[in-house]
Amino acid sequence: MRSSRLIAAVLLPIMLAACTGQSDAAMPPAAATSLPPAGPGPGDGDPVPMPVGPDGGWKLAFSDEFDGDTLDATRWADRSSAEPDAGRGNPGNQQLEWNQAANCQVAGGELTMTAKREPVTSPAGGRHYDWTSCLITTRKSYTFQYAYIEERAILPAAPGFWPAFWTWQARGADQQIETDVYEYYSDNHTRLYSTQYSGARGRCDWRPSFDPSSGWHTYGAAIEPSGTTWYADGRQVCHTPATSSGETNIISNLAVYAKIPPAAGTTSAVKRVDYIRAWSRP
């Protein structure tokens, strides 16, 4: 989840364009109260969920439907080696937030990640942060090189936030291994960024035909030996022959973007997650 806007010029020669919805007009924020609930996950006896997008040959390997009343600590950790300040902060990557489990709330069949304007000081280095937020990673429970991973989410509307769904190298890796299913900068509702940072590298900056903050949408990436393919709501939006070069964990988070920070009157924002799932090839 490195800043896509900073590295776009470097990766532009290998960008593989596959875009939907060509309007450059900014989409108006949707009122949070108008957005529907996530709904329950599959119940006992229901069919095993399959990916929204790629067909055939996938076996469910990991899932969290967020149907309980607290974040499952056996599945998720709230710190990652991707955040060099005690696993919770990364100001060198244009992030303003300190991540903590208290900002990750599960209720009503969904996970709510909340970024809050509140002060905190890192106990490791004494660095001051003006925001707290939520990051979760499967480093406790699920590690993979190749898989199809998927998240159903509603992204924040107010400018200044940077949610993402991505992977990061597992413990013991001696190189950066990262796949960004999506990055979204909430000052621009008309563009999403999907990037494979591993191997030969590849990316696409694509224009969704929907406003990511106005309702539930499904984002996925098939990370396979032959390459990486990205999907939104079941539709392929990008492909690159670049692929993961080693073991990774899933990360989902809500960063606060230092380059275009929230307005002074903005005190919070949320990313809502219905589920996170992963499938492997048998």
Query: Which pLDDT does position 55 carry in this prediction?
Result: 84
Query: Which pLDDT does position 18 carry in this prediction?
Result: 34
Query: Which pLDDT does position 21 carry in this prediction?
Result: 30
Query: Which pLDDT does position 125 carry in this prediction?
Result: 74
Query: Which pLDDT does position 33 carry in this prediction?
Result: 45
The burial of 141, by beta-carbon neighbours within 10 Å (0-12 exposed, 13-18 middle, 19 or more buried), is given as middle
Residues pairing with 235 in the sheet: 232
The burial of 50, by beta-carbon neighbours within 10 Å (0-12 exposed, 13-18 middle, 19 or more buried), is given as middle
pLDDT, tens digit (0-9, with 9 covering 90-100), for 202-251: 999 999 999 999 999 999 999 999 999 999 999 999 999 999 999 999 99
Report in angstroms the alpha-carbon separations of 180 from 37, 126, 133: 26, 30, 19
Query: Which pLDDT does position 232 carry in this prediction?
Result: 98
Query: Which pLDDT does position 114 carry in this prediction?
Result: 98
Query: Which pLDDT does position 23 carry in this prediction?
Result: 30
Tell which residue, 195, 175, 137, has the closest CA to residue 8.
Answer: 195
CB within 8 Å of 188: residues ≥ 6 apart: 26
Longest dimension (CA), the chain: 51
Query: Which pLDDT does position 126 carry in this prediction?
Result: 87
Query: Which pLDDT does position 77 carry in this prediction?
Result: 98
Give the Cα separation of 5 and 251 in Å (integer): 20
Amino acid at 200: A
Low-confidence ranges of the chain (pLDDT < 70): 4-34, 39-41, 43-45
Q: Taking phi first (over 0 means left), then psi (-120 to 50 degrees means alpha), and beta for anything else, what does residue 18 get? A: beta
